């Protein structure tokens, strides 16, 4: 069967819903948190030189930036076309073939593909103080900027790691010259740049929005991260929990003639956002419960009030069958429970996955299917069925501001 025919036949068989295959991503830094529900023997499935698997990506058309050994399709989602794990095609190809039928006319005309992805970020130790570039700065090196959201689900945080605290920006009293002095010492000593920052203890069931240009050091909690299609960053901290990072990671995504220009590196920051004295007030995201339309489920916005991505947490109560409608296409991941999702009667949260196996926990819902409503049945008498849903920038119901 030709690929175009396979894509369309799979799409029609799923009545506008695609089942995706788990996409795991290794990183050669940090320590895994072991909360991805991946078999303990499989955390080094890419080989020791690639580091441990610390992330799982969802509805991704994006290739991970993981150095010279990166696989051609690393980080990119595949659609399952049958019961054999090898019967598959790239989600990126589905977006190109189906276009507006899949992601909606608005997104297809504006971006030509699905413009965001989400991930589970799972490190047992805190990550380095770093930032993602703003769009105008990323374009100089042929990339895109990266705004991102965080949500900390209870279901995937049976432990909080070694340091469940996240740093954001810098104290309002800090000057650019102080930061520049720390960066100048990148290869000389521990620059301890988080001494200039401010930290917040992570509260499960809540989240944050992190604009591009804000320096941050995520804590050791498994995090659900809806974000823009990019993997671009600049790392400001050179030693974290005894692990050393090279200066190349500070200037990796700077133009060649700017790699030794610390004034340019400093300019990559959104300075006002970094030192905003009301940072928590503007960027902390407690959940907002949606208007109740059916007693069989509860839905909350958990990522919202930004111009790029949104996310909901949907809880279907035990034994309930509900029809849930949305205005736009979305990807989703089931994190608790089992039952039926649209025509898929084997939908279930993962218990323990082997690397490379199929699962019944991840889906992508086309715009038409979302508007018509997805029928979901929770087959458990005891447990709720919990689903995280990630949207692009065009969902009109996403709250535009904090309540």
Render pLDDT for 244-268 as a digit per residue (tens, 0 to 9). 999 999 999 999 999 999 999 999 9
Nearest in space to 350 (alpha carbons), one of 339, 342, 364, 360: 360
Asked if domains 29-62+112-285 and 288-391 share a fold, the reply is yes
Render pLDDT for 300-347 as a digit per residue (tens, 0 to 9). 999 999 999 999 999 999 999 999 999 999 999 999 999 999 999 999
Q: Between the CA of residue 179 and those of 215, 250, 269, what are the distances in Å?
A: 11, 13, 11
Determine the CATH number of domain 29-62+112-285.
Answer: 2.60.120.10
Strands 310-316 and 385-391, bridge-based pairing: antiparallel
Nearest in space to 335 (alpha carbons), one of 202, 153, 160, 207: 153
What is the fold, at CATH topology level, of the domain defined by 288-391? Jelly Rolls (2.60.120)
End-to-end CA distance of the chain: 51
> For 353, which DSSP code?
B
Render pLDDT for 168-215 as a digit per residue (tens, 0 to 9). 999 999 999 999 999 999 999 999 999 999 999 999 999 999 999 999
Residue found under tokens 């029809």: 323
**Burial of 272: CB neighbours in 10 Å, binned 0-12, 13-18, 19+:** exposed
**What pLDDT was estimated at residue 361?**
98
Indicate if the alpha-carbon torsion angle 113, 114, 120, 125 is positive or negative.
Answer: positive
What are the domain boundaries of the chain? Answer: 29-62+112-285, 288-391
Helix crossing, 91-98 with 3-13: angle to 10°? Answer: 90
Spell out where 220-373 has E strands. Answer: 223-228, 234-235, 239-240, 243-244, 284-285, 288-289, 297-303, 310-316, 321-324, 330-336, 338-341, 344-348, 362-365
Render pLDDT for 47-99 as a digit per residue (tens, 0 to 9). 999 999 999 999 999 999 898 999 999 999 999 999 999 999 999 999 999 99
Question: Distance between CA 215 and CA 132 in Å, rounded?
Answer: 8
Phi, psi of 385 (to 5 degrees): -105, 120
**What pLDDT was estimated at residue 1?**
65
Q: Is residue 219 within 8 Å of 33, Cβ to Cβ?
A: no
């Amino acid at each position: 069967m030709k690929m175009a025919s396979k894509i369309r036949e799979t799409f029609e068989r799923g009545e506008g819903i695609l089942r995706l295959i788990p996409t795991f991503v290794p990183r050669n830094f940090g320590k895994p948190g072991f909360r991805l529900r991946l078999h303990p023997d499989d955390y080094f499935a890419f080989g020791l030189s690639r580091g441990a698997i610390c992330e799982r990506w969802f509805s991704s058309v994006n290739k991970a930036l993981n150095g010279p050994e990166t696989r051609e399709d690393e980080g990119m989602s595949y659609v399952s076309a049958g019961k054999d794990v090898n019967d598959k095609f790239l989600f990126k190809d589905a977006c190109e073939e189906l276009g507006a039928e899949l992601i909606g006319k608005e997104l297809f005309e504006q971006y030509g593909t699905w413009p965001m992805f989400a991930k589970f970020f799972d490190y047992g130790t805190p990550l380095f103080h770093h930032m993602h570039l703003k769009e105008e700065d990323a374009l100089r090196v042929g990339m895109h900027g990266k705004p991102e959201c965080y949500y900390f689900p209870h279901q995937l945080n049976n432990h909080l790691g070694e340091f469940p605290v996240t740093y954001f920006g810098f104290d309002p009293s800090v000057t650019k010259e102080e930061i520049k002095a720390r960066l100048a010492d990148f290869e000389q000593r521990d620059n301890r740049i988080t001494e200039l920052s401010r930290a917040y203890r992570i509260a499960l069931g809540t989240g944050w929005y992190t604009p591009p240009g804000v320096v941050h050091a995520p804590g050791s909690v498994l995090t659900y991260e809806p974000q823009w299609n990019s993997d671009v960053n600049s790392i400001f901290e050179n030693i974290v929990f005894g692990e050393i990072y090279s200066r190349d990671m500070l200037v990796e995504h700077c133009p060649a003639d700017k790699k030794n220009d610390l004034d340019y590196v400093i300019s990559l920051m959104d300075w006002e956002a970094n030192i905003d004295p009301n940072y928590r007030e503007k960027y902390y995201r407690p959940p907002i419960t949606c208007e109740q339309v059916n007693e069989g489920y509860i839905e909350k916005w958990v990522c919202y009030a930004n111009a790029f991505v949104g996310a909901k947490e949907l809880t279907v109560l035990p034994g309930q069958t509900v029809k849930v409608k949305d205005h736009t296409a979305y990807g989703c991941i089931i994190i608790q429970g089992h039952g039926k999702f649209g025509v898929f009667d084997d939908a279930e949260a993962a218990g323990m996955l082997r690397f490379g196996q199929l699962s019944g926990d991840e889906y992508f819902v086309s715009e038409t299917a979302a508007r018509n409503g997805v029928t979901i049945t929770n087959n458990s008498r005891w447990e709720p069925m919990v689903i995280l849903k990630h949207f692009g920038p065009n969902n009109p119901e996403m709250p535009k501001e904090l309540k």
